A and B are shown apart, each in its own frame.
Chain A
Amino acid sequence: MNITMQTIAIQNGTKLLVAGEVDAHTAPQLSDQLVPLVQRPANQSVVVDLAEVSYLDSTGLGVFVGALKLSQQTGCRLSIQNVTPRIERLFRITGLIDIIPVTPRAESVAGQQDQASLQKRFDVVSADPKEEP
């Protein structure tokens, strides 16, 4: 697993484009890139674009928690955009979505096909959380 990152200047700040998989091995690389960005006085806003991130685990979330704490000290606004439904679910379950702005990306056709294939394989009986028991 590896990640690649690129920064581009945006109005009042920086956008960090991340591609690959963020796990315990690659999270330190993300942290090394992100932490200096939220600490840079010129950055009023740091946007992390996860459009090309296929996997992110709890250690990846930890990088954002650490960066968020630093950004609160420096007054920088941290936000995350273009997350997959799976990554968005992680932010939602952990409650982090309430303290870090997270924007989902439109679900890809490939993603829908993956889900359909998995459901077929396991003959899923879906639990509907909306229905009252």
Chain B
Amino acid sequence: MARQEWEDEYRKILQAFLRGRGEDQLYLGQQLSKWLRAHHVAPEEIVDFHVRALAETVELPELVKDSFQLLTEVMIEYGIAFREYRSLRSRQQQLESEIEVAATMQQTLLPRTSPQFDQVEIGLISVPAKQMSGDYYNFAKHDDQVFSVALADIIGKGIPAALCMSMIKYAMDSFLDQRITPAAMLGRLNGVVERNIEPGMFITMFYGMYDTCLHRFRYAVAGHEPGFWYRASKGRLYDLESRGLVLGVTPDVDYQEYEIDIEPGDLLILMTDGVTERKVGGRFLQRENIADLIQAEIGSPAQQIAENLYRKLLLLSNLELPDDHTMIVIRRVV
């Protein structure tokens, strides 16, 4: 609709309304208003045309006609605010579009599949609290026998965390070929992160290597939320022993390495703090509560355990996801 057309339409509606003062004309006026707003017609333009259309329709006293000059002046400020809103809206849409592209790109940093073995199952769930996640995970198959698993949580959420994720991913990729121990991997990553990260940022990380023939799991931890180990023969859960400074705080850190033998039916449950930092009825869940929920899932396939725990925790926290939630479940089947 060109300017002439909306003016004709406005005049027609106004004249019909003044003749009969019907609801239909008011409805048509609302519809025209939506169109005018969508096509960025400023409020002062509408007032200006209103007075012209009115003068064409009825004998308008000079006093009334002049009063519209004041109204037009007042509307000019609204017009400026309207144009500012349009500009902000346009920038917001552009940012949203860029974030959407970045979120899609971020997904390419994460593996789409996990390594497959006859005797070991791997379950995974990773849900971002916002569009972009601060949780990073990776699996790598070193040969037919050994695979590695990494789980990291970058401080904060959103775009800054996502940018750090790419640094971790590419640094880790460069070290994976060298098949270094978990402690050495964290030591080297710490060096990269410390040199490249903002002073107030850090990354927590768990890195482990599973030998599927020996069923031996070696791991090291950089300030990451401790995982759980379910020992099937005892029928109970234990904390995965861990100690180590977060990545990025000091340049040289020696990480301690731990080793456990995994028996048939045993589970390793690794997670980020988004899993544990949940409020239920105004109070934070305790680690023991998470252990209790895990106990109820023992016996299920690894993927099902990860998905069921996510659902249960989401229900307990009134469907709120305050932080990125990532859980990896490794289960020795036989």
Contacts and interface: CB of A to CB of B under 8 A. Distances in A.
A109 to B, nearest CB: 16
A98 B243 CA distance: 10
B155 A61 contact: yes
Contacts of A96: 223, 245-246, 249
Contacts of B229: 133
B245 A125 contact: no
How would you classify the secondary structure of chain A's contact residues: helix, strand, loop or mixed?
helix
Given A58-B273, A65-B200, A127-B237, A95 B246 contact: yes
B169 interface: no
Contacts of A66: 198-200
B12 to A, nearest CB: 52
Given A62-B156, A62-B202, A127 B245 contact: no
Interface in A43-63: 57-59, 61-63
A122 B280 CA distance: 11
Interface in B144-176: 153, 155-157
Interface string A116-133: 011101111111110101
Interface string A1-45: 000000000000000000000001000000100000000000000
A119 B284 CA distance: 12
Contact of A133 (B234, B285, B288): B234
Contact of A129 (B157, B200, B231, B238): B238
B36 interface: no
Contacts of B225: 93
A98 B225 CA distance: 16
A126 B288 contact: yes
How would you classify the secondary structure of chain B's contact residues: helix, strand, loop or mixed?
loop
Contacts of B248: 65
A57 B286 contact: no
Interface in B94-137: none
Contact of B155 (A62, A125, A131): A62
B34 interface: no
A112 interface: no
Contact of A125 (B228, B238, B295): B295
B244 interface: yes
Interface of A: 24, 31, 57-59, 61-63, 65-66, 68-70, 86, 93-96, 98-99, 114-115, 117-119, 121-129, 131, 133
10 closest A-B pairs by beta carbon, nearest first, are: A66-B200, A95-B245, A94-B223, A129-B239, A124-B288, A62-B200, A133-B231, A66-B199, A127-B237, A122-B289
Given A124-B288, A127-B238, A133-B234, 6 more contacts: A63-B200, A65-B199, A94-B204, A121-B281, A126-B288, A133-B236
